[in-house]
Each structure stands twice: as C-alpha cells, then as structure tokens.
Structure 1
Amino acid sequence: MENRRVILSIAVSSLFVFSFVDSFSLDFYAASCPSAEFIIRDIVTSSSSNDPSIPGKLLRLVFHDCFVEGCDASLMLIGNNTEQTDPGNRSVGGYSVIESAKRALELLCPETVSCADIIALAARDAVGIAGGPMVQIPTGRRDGMVSLASNVRPNIVDTSFTMDEMVKLFTSKGLSVLDLVILSGAHTMGVAHCNAFRDRFQQDAEGRLTLVDKTLDSSYAAELMKQCSTSTMASTITVNNDPETPMVFDNQYYRNLLAHKGLFQSDSALLNENSTRTMVEDFANDQELFFENWGQAFLKLTSVGVKTEDEGEIRRSCASTNNA
C-alpha cells in the first residue's frame, strides 16, 4: 500500500505544477483583507451548525461554478438565461452562505474579496468542517462577467455519463482520470433528487418501479425505490448520496462503490475499467491516501479557468455585475 500511496501522490503532483504569482497566491489578501479567510470559515461553520446539509451544498456549488466559465462565480449571477436557470443547476444550494460572507467582507474590506474566492474557500472549509482534510489554496480569483444557461449542459457531468464521456469532459478542464476518481469522492456528502438516477429503474403503466440496472445492489435498489415512490420519482424528494455517512467527508463513497451502492450510473462507471477500479479500491482501503490526494485534486479543480488581474471584476454583490 505504501508504494501505491507514493504512485498516486506522484501521479497527481506531476500532472499539476502550479506557479504561484502575486495575482494568485496563498497570501493574496494578507495586506488588503487579512481576516478574509477567517470570516469565511466562521460563516461556513455557523451555517453548517444550523444546517448540516450546508457542507455538501457548498462542495457541489464549487464544482458547478468551476466547470462552467472557470472558477469565477458566474453561477452566482441572477437573471434571465443565466447559469442558475439551467435545470442542472436548479437544485444547487449554498448561495445564501456565499452572500452572507460577501456582505460581511464588504463591510470590512469593500470591493476587495471576490465572490469566486469566497466560493472556493467556502467549499474548502466545508470539507474540513465535515471531517475531511483542510487544504491550502491560492486566492486572487476575479469574478466573471458572463453567465449563460446555454454554457451549462456541455460543461457539467450528467449522472448517466459513461466513463469515456466523463474523461473527455475532465480532460477539457485540465483534469486527469485520477482527478476524476478523486473528485468523485465528493459524493460522500450531499443529496440527489430521485430523477437524477431514474434511468436505473423502469416505471410501468401503473407507476410501479423495477430495477433495470443490475449493477446496483438489490437491497440498496429496493431502499431507493421505497424512498422514491411512484408519486415522487420526478418530484422534489431527495436521497443521500452516501447511504452510510451522508454528513461526513470520508472515504465511504469508495466503500459504497465496491458494494455496488453507488447512487449514479456515473459513479458505478468507475468500476468498469481496471485502472479506475484499482484507484477506487485503494481509496476505499485507505482514507489517509484519499485525503492526501484530495488536496492536490481540489487545488486543480479550484484553479480551472481562473481570472486574475485585469480579467473580470470584484463584484459588490455576488448576484449581479457591478454595472448591472
């Protein structure tokens, strides 16, 4: 296992060597707003205490933001035909936490801390609060000016994606197959609507569900069919991504996969190839290994399409551009 630990860590590091510059660095707010990260962490902590589902929501939020237009808070913009209006984003939550942090920071350090940085830092803190590793990430992201619903569907993973489809999308973002397996571990938290995995079941004329995807554990499938009854399969009912430890960031996701209890087809697809199955097995057997590799993969994720210096702006409100 020690050799495997070294191999995985080297694989991640060799794929991403980040050159920190003044406009995107670990101490970017040291002079302009030194308490920025503390304020964000405090708000994420208090919000999570009031609502244990917040960490999972913030983690999903950063994925959906960074994969479309890069990590630039384009998902936060409100309006006709913005990213929020796409069906794939209508169930994304955590916006209020980001806005709360933004309001606090605007009082202390006006027009200084970007919404994009708040999203990335809040997701980072959410993982730590839920029991996962605390990761250092650079700041200095600027907020984007473009948010279009038409950009969402081609840039986010659909729960029915095959391995090839996921690899193609991740590669387009500068992320490797190893990153794909590591970042899929985010499904150890959060919830999903029943219609996100409805293609694993078949509904007859009388509305009764039967399992058609035989890769899914039968007892787990029976529980899902019970929770997603005929009247709720396409409604607002949600189930936990991880049926075992849904509010904890741990390696249970990989254990679930090996037990054929991955909620989505895109989860189960990780077992279809020997290389990715081996990674799943390693992370399932060694939580420390998963945590070590999570840090590098999360750093890469939150660096996708980053805007710095004269790109974008520092929004006064995350919901609108400054000239709106």
Structure 2
Amino acid sequence: MRPSARPALLVLGSNGQLGFELRRSLACLGEVVALDRAACDITKHEECLAVLARYRPDVVVNAAAYTGVGQAEQDPDAALLANGTAPGWLAAATRDLGGLFVHFSTDFVFDGRHTQPYTEEDVPMPLSVYGKTKLEGERAVLAAGGSAIVLRTAWLAGVHGSNFLKTILARAKAGERLQVVADQVGTPTSAALVADVTAHIVARYWLAAGVRPGFPTGVYHLTAGGEASWHAYACEICRFAQARGMALRLGPGDVGACAARDFDGGVERPAYSVLDTTRLRETFGVHLPQWEQGVHWLLEQLISREQTHA
C-alpha cells in the first residue's frame, strides 16, 4: 500500500479513559475500528486472532489492560494474562499482518528508589504484581518482533472514566475531608496528551512506509513535563477549579498531607517514578507540556460540561 493511503486502525480497550481519547486522536489518520472488552476480550487468544483476521488492521493500538493495582495482588493470574501474556500474542498477530503494534505500559515497572527521572536504559524492578505483569507484557511485545512501540506513561487522567482528578474534585465539592499522599512523586499526565502523541507516532510510521524496517521501534517514556506529589497535584486541582469559579467547599489550603504507608492498601508503590522523556521528544520531535497545563485543560473540559448540562 502506498504511504499516501489511509491506514486501517484497530483500537482495543476503547471504553477506558485512554481508549476514549485514542478514538478521537486517530480518527484523522484513517478508518478506526474501536472495540471494547465485550467486542474483543484480549485474554481470549482465539477471539483476538479472529478479530485481527476479520479487520486486518495496518495498526493495532492496545489500550486494554488489567489496571486494578490492589486487585492484582489478589488475582495475579488474571493480571498476568491481561497484562503479560495477551499483549505478546496480539503483537505476534500484528507482526504476521505486517502492521505496527502500539502498547502502553507504566511507571510501576520501576522500584521508585531513584532521585532523578528514569530513562529507558534503567533496569526495571517492579514492586507490585501489577508492575511485574506490565513488565512481562513489555517483554512479550518486544520478543514478538515486527514493528512495535511500547509507551510507558503514568498518573493518567481523562474526561472519560474515573481517575484521581475527578475524585479530588468531587470530594472538594462535597466538603469531604481530604488527606492525600505527599511522599510519592510522579507526573500527572493527560490521557488526551498520550493519545495525541500516539497519533503523531502512528502518522510518522505510516508516512515512512517505504522505510519501515528502519522505523525507531522499542520502548519510550511518555508523560507530561515536570513532577509533583499526589498532595501537590490535589492542591493544584482545587486551586485552579476554585479560580475558575467552581463551587468547592474545600480549597487548596484544606488538603491535608499524609504518608504513603497510611494508604498503601497492602501494595508497595514506587516513591519516585518520574520518567525521562528525552528519547521520545528527540526521536519524534514532540513537545510535552508541563503537567499543570494538562490539569488545567482537563478541568476546563469538565467545567464546560457542567455549564452545558446546567
């Protein structure tokens, strides 16, 4: 197929907060088939093969995953199947079709003992079942060969679905007591940003159709810029929402700080999981805004929705 032709794109996990944004961001590139778990359960091998055989996509973007960090500790087999095994057979099936496979991983593959951002060259040492299964998925995708991109991201929040930002906002509106972890640091990242960068990478791949064997595949870190604790993140949510006139019963000064050990839920999480995005920025020529911009943008979308439905 000529590079000028429009690719056929398949998005798996389309009902999650990232899948929702991918449906939007990829639509300008070609025909998008977006499937939720009911239409394609990635943990069912034969079902996955049948779906790929039916649609024969040029690009498969896998946003499906087992995301319950606490639940994974109780059901490691289910987490491993969804996060570790399934991505491998999806990548292999995409390889056999001669297509590009895009997969998403997490900052939880690191142990959090660094004091500076993790690069792709740093050795992963996950602490939790969730992190371990996501690392297995990365390895399975890369071992399948073919054209594959693994994008590690972190602390996602989007307009669609449940997330930390929406939880803080709802509790601040209700005037509920807020105690937020202050000794875990990462980078709040908009699902829309991850989806837009993914679309940029896919477009670069498609335009380079004549030289795909040299396309820069592999692992890349993709988050917004900067870093914050969960507590600082919560304070910024309340501050900006209040400044934009949202009716909050709690402001940033009402957000209490606590230690991670008070809310660990039996799962050890990395204390510092900021990701260095230099490789992604230099390879694909993308600009990644500071995390606060993503928070502000998302809050503006939520405010606009409230006004529309008022």
Superposed pair shares fold, TM > 0.5: no
Higher relative contact order (CA 8 A, sep 6+): 1
Could you tell me the TM-score, scaled by structure 2's length? 0.26
Could you tell me the TM-score, scaled by structure 1's length? 0.25
Structure that is richer in strand per residue: 2
